Structure 1
Amino acid sequence: MKLSARNISWQVNGRQLLDNIRLETVPGENLGLIGPNGSGKTTLLRILAGLQKPHTGDVWLGDQSMYRMRQRHIARSIALVEQQAMASDRISVHQAVSLGRTPYLSPMRGWSPQDEAIVSRALYDVGIEPLKTRPWHTLSGGEGQRVQIARALAQQPDILLLDEPTNHLDIRHQLSILGLVRALPITVVIALHDLNQAMDCDRVGVLEDGRLVDIGPPEEVLTPHRLRRTFGVHADVLANAQDQRHYMRFRQAV
């Protein structure tokens, strides 16, 4: 299923946070979004998820406008993991992850063994099954972030949107979560702070002052010229001698 942003613009107090964004996902791809703080990544993800309506433009899910669709239908197709990892809700980790099944429940269709199995699998996949009885509000930031990711997995979306999901996570869990996300047989759009993590995406989109200034394979987009212009840093693109994976070494621009 394709997700398309068609000429999306968004303003706050006269400031243009998004400016005529045109973007279309490729089914099954891992699309990274990068850009300096304030470039519009979070706002764009919230609009793509249907949580905000753009001031101009439209978002299409498959072959129809998202704004003509019922929220339940959208929630069965798209899940969003936002940056904020902590919660004040006095519920257990298991209950928090179970909320991902809400779009599938109704007065005619209650909780089933299949729902329980899906929640259990999501808890296991992100490594928080031992915490399932813990109150959500007592978790650390990294643990809370993994709960949010598990809840999104329990939603079983066709498209998963993640806003810097490795915030608060130690390096072991960063690698685990990113590996899990890359292996999912769905479309993933992920805002990233770490540019080396962006090198593992199928495509990368670069946001700058609310504009999508470049998009394409990371080796074509993340060039020294682009990184100096957008982020103000010098970058050397290097290849690992063993697996030929590319990574970047940064130096401050002068």
Structure 2
Amino acid sequence: MRLRAEHIEWRVHGHRLLDDVSLTVEPGETFGLVGPNGSGKTTLLRVLAGLRRPKVGRVLANERPMRAMRRHEVARTIAFVEQQADTLDRLEARQAVALGRTPFLSPLRPWSAQDDAIVDRALADVGMQSMADRLWHTLSGGERQRVHIARALAQQPSALLLDEPTNHLDIRHQLSILTLVKQLPVTVIIALHDLDQAMDCDRIGVMDGGRLVATGPPRDVLTLERLRRTFGVHATLLDDPDEDRPILRFRHAL
């Protein structure tokens, strides 16, 4: 799926959170959104996911204006994993993941063995199959985050949007989730706090003060000058001997 934002603006109580943001993410691309706290990453993701309708500008999914799409159409094609989502305490992990199939169900299309198989696969993909029967309130923050990602995978979306999905995960599960996301045959837009993780994206966009100030391949965008100007840090770029990408080493803040 190609997702395109055209001249998006979003205001809250007169404060502009997004300022003339235009962006195109190509089918199958993994696009990283980075920027300081409060730069507009989450707001932009919610607009792209169809959860917020901008008063200025528009979002297109495969060249179709999202305003013209019904809610269930959007839910069948775009999945959004929030940074801090919640669900009912009395739900089991598997039941929470099964909610991802809701947009596809109707009186004429009830739950089927195919839905069971999709939920099982989603749980396995995030390493939660052994905890499928656990109640939500007994899960750790990291386990809950993996369940939310599994629920998004159960939607079998054409585009997957994730807001800092590794925040509550230990390093092993961070790496496994990022590897899984990179391998999915879908369009991915992922907001990341860790700039080293952003180096693995196909392209990245830098948000600053509600504006998209730079886009392109990570090594072209995350220059030492950009890191100093936008993130307020001094850094060094080192070559990774095992992979064809640089490693960021931060020395100190300005």
Over the aligned positions, Cα root-mean-square deviation in angstroms equals: 1.0
- Report how many aligned residue pairs link the two structures: 254
TM alignment of 1:1-254, pairs within 5 A: 1-254=1-254
Q: How far is the alpha carbon of 1:107 from its aligned partner? A: 0.5
Write the deviation string for residues 144-183 of structure 1: whole angstroms up to 9, x where unpaired.
0000000000000000000000011000000000000001
Instruction: Give ranges in structure 2 of 5+ residues lacking alignment.
Output: none
Alpha-carbon separation, structure 2, partners of 1:153 and 1:217: 26
The TM-score normalised by the length of structure 2 is: 0.98
**Distance in 1 of aligned mates of 2:33 and 2:237:** 19
Quote the offset at 1:94 in angstroms.
0.6
Deviates more, 1:130-139 or 1:188-197: 130-139
Report % sequence identity: 63
Contact 1:86/1:137 (8 A) holds in 2: no
Contact 2:87 2:96 (C-alpha < 8 Å) held by counterparts:
no
SS in structure 2 of the partner of residue 213 of structure 1? strand
CA distance in 1, matches of 2:244, 2:113: 45
Between 1:165-174 and 1:50-59, the stretch displaced more is 50-59
Cα displacement (A) at 1:244: 3.4
Please tell me whether the aligned partners of residues 4 and 63 of structure 2 are also in contact (alpha carbons under 8 angstroms).
no
CA contact (8 A) 1:86 1:141 kept: no
CA distance in 1, matches of 2:60, 2:85: 28
> In structure 1, how many angstroms separate the alpha carbons of the residues matched to 2:108 and 2:249?
56
Query: In the aligned structure 2, how far is the partner of 1:158 from the partner of 1:201?
Result: 18
- Note the C-alpha offset of 1:64: 1.3
TM-score (norm 1): 0.98
How many Å separate the matches in 2 of 1:64 and 1:242?
42
